[in-house]
Structure 1
Amino acid sequence: MTFQVSPDQVRTEKPLAGRVALVTGSTSGIGLAVARALAGAGSALVLNGLGRPEEGSSLALSFDDQFGIEAVYSPADMADPTAIAAMMQLASARFGRLDILVNNAGIQHVSPLESFPPAQWDAILAVDLTSAFHTTRLALPGMRERGWGRIINVASAHALVASPFKAAYVAAKHGLLGLTKVTALEAAETGITCNAICPGYVWTPLVEAQIADQARAHSIPREAVIRDVLLANQPNKRFAQVDEIGALAAFLAGDAGASITGAALPVDGGWTAH
């Protein structure tokens, strides 16, 4: 007996089949998990991240092998508008379109405001906020022309609340949420949505290293660092997993997210419910 699969069934199993996504900062951590979730749903991908170009190209090939989708890697520096424009052009040249844009790239520096290095302030604002302006302004015309698009900004709980010693990061993430809302309003009648995912602490290799550093610095057990330092403001006392962020991004990128726009979606274990 021969079984035939209908187009509707394929669409259900791979809801993003035929779409093209670009995820900045997607060679590790949250960005990589988002890219994997979108690929699993059938989307072709432009990956991005700093590092050795051959490693990025190898990562793209692994997406081809694992998910059966086409992926390409861009080493664009998110602090460089010219490099960002070249990355966006790569997406257009390789795939002919860009349907889903995920602005995830980000950097951090912790310092009291009066001694915060101006160069660090400039770098954080460039990567965490201004890069999203450049990618968004370049993605919107094509999305408008096709009458469909999804822009997802990976912000932070710090887009909604503040913490001491993170002036640039908090300012950038608050700005990113503002950009999200403006984009959503300007594109509201075009089939394009724009939303911000606002994670609290998420389990990544960088967080694991931070736990070890804090334990040494304060001479306290690892468990105490997690509960009483890092997760002090997170009522559920657990780290979110990167796959949780990926799953939410994939939902927002699909047809089921069509009426969600201009939203700040906390994934923070209740942090911002205080």
Structure 2
Amino acid sequence: MFQKFLTGKTAIVTGSNSGIGLGVAHQLAKAGADLVLNSFTDRDEDHALAEELAKQHGVKVRYIKADMSKGEECRALVEKAGACDILVNNAGIQHVAPIQDFPTEKWDAIIAINLTSSFHTTAAALPMMRKAGWGRIVNIASAHGLTASPFKSAYVAAKHGVVGLTKVTALETAQEKITCNAICPGYVLTPLVEAQIPDTMKEYNMSRDDVIKNVMLQRQPSKEFATVEELGDTTVFLCSDAAAQITGTTISVDGGWTAL
């Protein structure tokens, strides 16, 4: 879809050894960007994944471990990368429970990883972008950054916070060649979601198609999952010259969910 117009740029993608983050990393690499992959593990397979992407796309790829629940490690990730032209804040976790039963430690972890990490990485990346005279920050928020669902208090609060942080960052960089936007996906077909389908079929005694359309995608009018490639291509577009005046906004990739 895109030419290699990001050659010479370095992109850091948090939470990128699987799912949305990995899909975004692939599309950025296709556009020529060198990559820094990240997660909280430090396994041989994490580094092997970086080598595989480098070989597949002909770009430089490194894997750097960082626990995104810890501010100092978020900032160290950016510092260890040595350059950050493109920052994709994607790391996230989820827990579902009524407010009165929501474990405090789960609330703290979700806010830290889904929201506060983006503050720390952004704070560390902005000086590098300013020195380079160019930068793109893409925050992977959620449809839940624009609307709400029961039992997801921490996740909804964090994602609304990400949208707010996006707007403030955009205003603070509005007169520079730096943009900051949030992508708000609905349900995305990731390996984690795919793995949930068989159990949900058994729980509801439904076919795969019925589970997807009537249970998992109940609130997604298109009745189709977004794909990680679509989110990656949206990210790449936001890094293009065509998006130079798009900043401080949210782009919904949710099959019409937030149009309801």
Fold shared, TM-score > 0.5 on shorter chain: yes
In the alignment, the residues of structure 1 paired with residue 132 and residue 79 of structure 2 have an alpha-carbon distance, to the nearest angstrom, of 17
Match of 1:69 in 2: 59
CA-to-aligned-CA distance 1:242-271 (integer Å, 9 cap, x gap):
100000001111222111101100000000
Structure 1 residue runs of 5 or longer lacking an equivalent are: 1-11
Query: By how many angstroms is 1:57 displaced?
Result: 1.0
**Match of 1:152, as an amino acid?**
V
CA-to-aligned-CA distance 1:69-118 (integer Å, 9 cap, x gap):
111101111101122222111111xxxx2100000000000111110111
Q: Which structure is larger by alpha-carbon Rg, 1 or 2?
A: 1
In the alignment, the residues of structure 1 paired with residue 240 and residue 51 of structure 2 have an alpha-carbon distance, to the nearest angstrom, of 24
Match of 2:25 in 1: 35
Q: Secondary structure at the match of 2:36?
A: strand
Query: By how many angstroms is 1:51 displaced?
Result: 3.0
In the alignment, the residues of structure 2 paired with residue 13 and residue 270 of structure 1 have an alpha-carbon distance, to the nearest angstrom, of 29
**Match of 1:205, as an amino acid?**
P
Structure 2 residue runs of 5 or longer lacking an equivalent are: none
Match of 2:215 in 1: 229
CA-to-aligned-CA distance 1:181-226 (integer Å, 9 cap, x gap):
0000110001100000000001011111222232233333332221
Q: Does 1:204 align with 2:194?
A: no
In the alignment, the residues of structure 2 paired with residue 216 and residue 130 of structure 1 have an alpha-carbon distance, to the nearest angstrom, of 37
Match of 1:114 in 2: 100
Match of 1:219 in 2: 205
In the alignment, the residues of structure 1 paired with residue 79 and residue 45 of structure 2 have an alpha-carbon distance, to the nearest angstrom, of 21
CA-to-aligned-CA distance 1:28-80 (integer Å, 9 cap, x gap):
11100100111111111110013343111111111221111111101111101
Using structure 1 for the length normalisation, give the TM-score: 0.92
Question: Is this contact kept in 1: 2:79–2:124, CA < 8 A?
Answer: no
In the alignment, the residues of structure 2 paired with residue 248 and residue 129 of structure 1 have an alpha-carbon distance, to the nearest angstrom, of 21
How is 1:112-261 mapped onto 2 (pairs within 5 angstroms)? 112-261=98-247
Q: Secondary structure at the match of 2:17?
A: coil
In the alignment, the residues of structure 2 paired with residue 179 and residue 253 of structure 1 have an alpha-carbon distance, to the nearest angstrom, of 19
Q: 1:216 to 1:51 in 2, by over 3 A?
A: farther
**Match of 1:162, as an amino acid?**
A
Using structure 2 for the length normalisation, give the TM-score: 0.96
Greater shift after overlay, 137-146 or 19-28? 137-146
Question: Is this contact kept in 2: 1:16–1:42, CA < 8 A?
Answer: yes
Question: Which one of 8, 11, 17 corresponds to residue 7 of structure 2?
Answer: 17
Question: Is this contact kept in 2: 1:234–1:269, CA < 8 A?
Answer: yes
In the alignment, the residues of structure 1 paired with residue 22 and residue 132 of structure 2 have an alpha-carbon distance, to the nearest angstrom, of 27
Match of 2:89 in 1: 103
Q: Does 1:272 align with 2:258?
A: yes
In the alignment, the residues of structure 1 paired with residue 127 and residue 42 of structure 2 have an alpha-carbon distance, to the nearest angstrom, of 32
**Match of 1:141, as an amino acid?**
P
Give the CA RMSD over aligned residues. Answer: 1.2
In the alignment, the residues of structure 2 paired with residue 80 and residue 55 of structure 1 have an alpha-carbon distance, to the nearest angstrom, of 23
Greater shift after overlay, 108-117 or 213-222? 213-222
